[in-house]
Structure 1
Amino acid sequence: MTGLPANTARRTKGLRREEPAVLVGVSVDHIVRPEQGRASAPSAQVCAALARALQLGDAEQEHLFRLAGHATGGGRISRLVSASIRRLVERTGERPVAVFDAMRNLLLWNRLWAALAGDPSQLREADRNLLWLHFTGTSDCHLYGPGSTEALDASLGADLRRSTGRYLEDPQPRQLAARLNETSPQFRELRLRHEIAEHCPTITRVVHSEVGTLALDCDILTTQRHDPRSW
């Protein structure tokens, strides 16, 4: 399995608990507590990371999410990343690529994305969100639209409002909006406009703390089977 040492002597078949924990970026206790009934089911983000680390197929992913209480449908955002999209990201090494769900939670990324935007595995799970990183300024990489500096802000804020209305039974978009409302005056101002829109491909100006300013084409691909989007 990618990221684990090969040919390791084992007394029993299968993975040790610490191995998927390392790949997912959580503590071993995070894996053990749900097994022992000492915690609720893992979050959708942890399930997505587990599916990626264990290289699960589409049916296996759906079963994992269903067992954890994150079944798709019923007005909830899908966090499933199909095996074909996962392979595409793994094989694309010439440009930064990342996969997000409908509320911009980061589900999957390649090495160039980590080099450009900072390694998401070093962040808390709750902070692996494009809007959170953008509006709180906690990323080494800052994004701007091709026109005014507020153009991208308005587009991202309107996109979150659209997702909130589209997935009425999913509380997470509203929770993210409330969290941003408390933290970012800029986002709070955008929310007062009540704009609804879908964020579209554009030329994005990237200001990196070490590299400087880059002008990049930003393409967005939406999968047909599920809602995650690739950047």
Structure 2
Amino acid sequence: MANTGLGTALRHWRDRVAPQAVGLPAGGRRRAAGLRREELAQLAGISADYVIRLEQGRATSPSAQVVEALARALRLTQDERAHLFRLAGLAPPGPGTVPRHITPGVHRMLDRLAGTPVAVFDAAWNQLLANPLYTALMGEWRGNDLNGVWRNFLSPNNRVRDTPESRKALQSALVADLRRTAGTYPGDRDLRALIADLRRHSTGFAALWESGAVGQHEAGRKTIDHPQAGTLTLDCDVLSVAGSDLRIMVYTAQPGTEDADRLALLGVLGTQSLGVEEAPRPG
């Protein structure tokens, strides 16, 4: 049966989002002031064909991950996000799950940091959103690599230059973070699955988990080897959003330095965007 309610809601919310508000150019002739289907697909990380099928009611069972991505791309409020889940035939995430909603206020704050590499992670270190400059700096991740814990234990796709000491400290802090998150959100099935997968696939993670490793993230300087811009040494700060357990990671360069020049170059180089219909669950 065609899910026309879902399609109608998506079209309505898409029409009210100005492309300038999400960092897209407004050029060219438009039938409406809002997002094109292709632009919504780009922002949500799904294919344009899938957006069309959702709006036409021919795709009737989107996953929770796709619904969450659409809610973020459309900048829905908490109530609108819950309504979108129900329209998709899914229960809205409950209070026992890791918060993944990015409020319109946080979106507006990120809009004002367009010239700064910024990414938003949830309490399980799943990347929820990254601006183009962050993606240009760190690379475009997908699948399991969208989870920062998975990536630091199991993936070679990392441009940050580590020493054995800094890597050990980071991994201990990540495991301690995940342990605290598991205690705070015991009902989150995705989180439990992530921890089980990490313990099964990474002996290093399993050892730290069993040992009760402790640690905390601290502001610091990171050296990043970029394939086009060269080596950049930047300040990395992780900010917390009160009441949501979201983490905002920000990279900045000291003004007037070669690092600042290379970061500006990255803004010119940009990054390619991908369209994936159903990305695997991070972790």
Q: TM-score range by the shorter chain?
A: 0.7 to 0.9
Judging changes above 3 Å, is the alpha-carbon distance between structure 1 residues 78 and 145 closer, same or farther for their aligned structure 2 residues? Answer: farther
| TM-score (structure 2 length as normaliser) | 0.65
- Among candidates 245, 263, 279, match of residue 227 of structure 1: 245
Q: Is the 8 A contact 1:58 1:82 kept in 2?
A: yes
Distance 2:91 2:102 in 1: 14
- Paired residue type of 1:55: R
- Among candidates 114, 129, 132, match of residue 135 of structure 2: 114
Q: Is the 8 A contact 2:151 2:158 kept in 1?
A: no
Judging changes above 3 Å, is the alpha-carbon distance between structure 1 residues 66 and 129 closer, same or farther for their aligned structure 2 residues? Answer: farther
Q: Percent identity?
A: 35
Distance 1:42 1:62 in 2: 14
- Paired residue type of 2:146: R
- Paired residue type of 1:90: D
Judging changes above 3 Å, is the alpha-carbon distance between structure 1 residues 184 and 218 closer, same or farther for their aligned structure 2 residues? Answer: same
Q: Is the 8 A contact 2:123 2:246 kept in 1?
A: yes
Query: 1:141 Cα deviation (Å)?
Result: 1.9
Distance 1:209 1:63 in 2: 41
Query: 1:146 Cα deviation (Å)?
Result: 10
Q: Is the 8 A contact 1:145 1:203 kept in 2?
A: no
Moved more, 17-26 or 97-106: 17-26
Unpaired runs of 5+ residues, structure 1, are none
Judging changes above 3 Å, is the alpha-carbon distance between structure 1 residues 33 and 95 closer, same or farther for their aligned structure 2 residues? Answer: closer
Query: 1:33 Cα deviation (Å)?
Result: 6.1
Judging changes above 3 Å, is the alpha-carbon distance between structure 1 residues 79 and 70 closer, same or farther for their aligned structure 2 residues? Answer: farther
Judging changes above 3 Å, is the alpha-carbon distance between structure 1 residues 73 and 170 closer, same or farther for their aligned structure 2 residues? Answer: same
Query: 1:71 Cα deviation (Å)?
Result: 3.0
Does residue 202 in structure 1 map to residue 233 in structure 2?
no
Moved more, 186-195 or 199-208: 199-208
- Greater RCO, 1 or 2 (C-alpha within 8 Å, sep 6+): 2
User: Which structure has the bigger radius of gyration?
Assistant: 2
Does residue 152 in structure 1 map to residue 170 in structure 2?
yes
Query: 1:24 Cα deviation (Å)?
Result: 1.6
Distance 2:39 2:68 in 1: 16
- Among candidates 101, 109, 119, match of residue 98 of structure 1: 119
The residue aligned with 1:61 is 81
Query: 1:21 Cα deviation (Å)?
Result: 2.1
Unpaired runs of 5+ residues, structure 2, are 1-17, 250-283
Does residue 166 in structure 1 map to residue 184 in structure 2?
yes
- CA deviation vs aligned residue, 1:84-121 (integer Å, no higher than 9, x gap): 1111112113432111111011111222211221124x
SS at match of 2:245: coil
The residue aligned with 2:98 is 77
Judging changes above 3 Å, is the alpha-carbon distance between structure 1 residues 152 and 73 closer, same or farther for their aligned structure 2 residues? Answer: same
The residue aligned with 2:202 is 184
Higher fraction of helix: 2
Judging changes above 3 Å, is the alpha-carbon distance between structure 1 residues 172 and 7 closer, same or farther for their aligned structure 2 residues? Answer: same
Q: Is the 8 A contact 2:239 2:248 kept in 1?
A: yes
- CA deviation vs aligned residue, 1:162-213 (integer Å, no higher than 9, x gap): 211211111111211222233333222222213356x433215344253346
Judging changes above 3 Å, is the alpha-carbon distance between structure 1 residues 104 and 181 closer, same or farther for their aligned structure 2 residues? Answer: same
Query: 1:19 Cα deviation (Å)?
Result: 4.4
CA RMSD of aligned residues (A): 3.2
Count, aligned residues: 223
| TM-score (structure 1 length as normaliser) | 0.78
Moved more, 60-69 or 128-137: 60-69
- Paired residue type of 2:187: E
Distance 2:93 2:214 in 1: 23
Judging changes above 3 Å, is the alpha-carbon distance between structure 1 residues 30 and 4 closer, same or farther for their aligned structure 2 residues? Answer: farther
